[in-house]
Amino acid sequence: MQCFFCQRNIAEIDFKETEIIKNFVSLSGKIKSKKKTGLCSSHQRKIAKAIKRARQLGLLA
Ligand SMILES: [Zn+2]
């Protein structure tokens, strides 16, 4: 099964794409687990990185 980003052929996740990124953050503000996101390991790592980056820059609460 392909993950959200593999399906869309997105290799790198842009931290500026907050509309996409915020789908992978839980209501309590945590990064959703791989089980919940359904992402592959590679993209799970990338989304975690993008979320952290977006937070640092204040793009994400
Ligand atoms: Zn993937």
Q: What is the CATH number of the domain that holds 25?
A: 4.10.640.10
Tokens of 51: 């979320």
Cα(52) to centroid of ligand 1, in Å? 18
Q: How many domains does the chain have?
A: 1
Q: Which domain holds residue 23?
A: 4-56
CA of 45 to the centre of ligand 1 (A): 10
d(CA 25, CA 43): 14
Does 39 reside within a domain?
yes
The span from the CA of 57 to the CA of 19, in Å, is 15
pTM of the model: 0.91
| Ion ligand 1 residues within 5 Å by Cβ | 3, 5-6, 40, 43
Amino acid 42 reads S
Question: Is 38 a member of any domain?
Answer: yes
pLDDT tens for each residue of the chain, 61 residues long: 799 999 999 999 999 999 999 999 999 999 999 999 999 999 999 999 999 999 999 998 7
